[in-house]
Structure 1
């Protein structure tokens, strides 16, 4: 220890090598402090920049979220408007009308002749319903579909080919037709209802918005479709629910 003190504090040379060493150490320490302070300043500056950048990013995210919410609201309104416009353009049709034998409106077996009960129903109930649906739903075509049960026809001979067109245009009566199958019979019964509607239109001035020919369509499903819409299985037993006239409404594509 004494030697170290003598080295640092030399009486002959008060500014000896010991003092130089201390000065050097102090200089090194000062440099390190300066470097450390500079590094700290740089870190502090970086932190401030990062904090500012983070704040800016948060503000940007908030702005984007606000824009996204605005776009969602805009798209929601646009979707609702387009949906409403699309719904307005999609044709709306009234429910089908079904006339069944079980209701008391039956055709004679194997015949397309309209009974008094069926004639009365067509004039007093069906025609007003058709007129109401035409006005309410803006339809211009009435589709009449004849359905039968699975009972075999008495005579499997048909004269519909070549004659059904004359009946459909009013040049021949439905009574001239001879069915050779239940499909024929269903069509004949549908034609009988169509002809009755056309007669009422002509003689009583009703159903005037319908074209006398193109406004009515007669089709047959024969025994194929059940009341619930499913395909029927082979069954030759009488069935009043299957024997029916179905009325549908549609709109032609003509302007």
Structure 2
């Protein structure tokens, strides 16, 4: 998957994130299912990622910066956002920028192209880029600072989200929000030819992400878990909450993210 931030979608995401916990597009302000939406003009599909999915050593002690998400670095070294990534078929690279705090999706003005094993210094604090995946970058402090990253907030029931046979279904424009509103996942968009999904996750305690142009078979990470995207149903093109034929995706739980 790529990390292109489409201007229209990015603006919609910023507005939607402010009201996720209240149910963006909910019954009180949702699209009237009897109204036919205007024709959509999806962006052309980016080339499929060449792989491998991950390169480098998984690091449980490292900070997981999810694709399209910003994380505050330990030791007060600012924040880093995983903006873009790619592969030549053998090795992975990523572009990090200075973010604007945990849980946000705003890129800063600095930019760091990185590869696995590379050193990265942010505001005087040194890290090793331990792993790069399509869905995350793992940064390990060189001074062995403990990374107190809680992938799910303390207020969140660790059982969130509710699953059916290990599967989470997200319907188009219908946020799946933890009861305290501390973490939420939403399917913002679906496209066809080939089938692609734009899935965003917001979290007050970190672990936010923006997975654009995700395809069947892709791995995603959120709520401290790994998920496999197994189904993309583009539906009838109407993302109304009141429409039973709107598009959806199915995510199969793979296990803990570490």
Q: Which has the larger radius of gyration?
A: 1
**TM bucket by the smaller chain?**
under 0.3
Query: TM-score, normalised to structure 2's length?
Result: 0.24
Query: TM-score, normalised to structure 1's length?
Result: 0.24
Higher helix share: 1
Higher strand share: 2
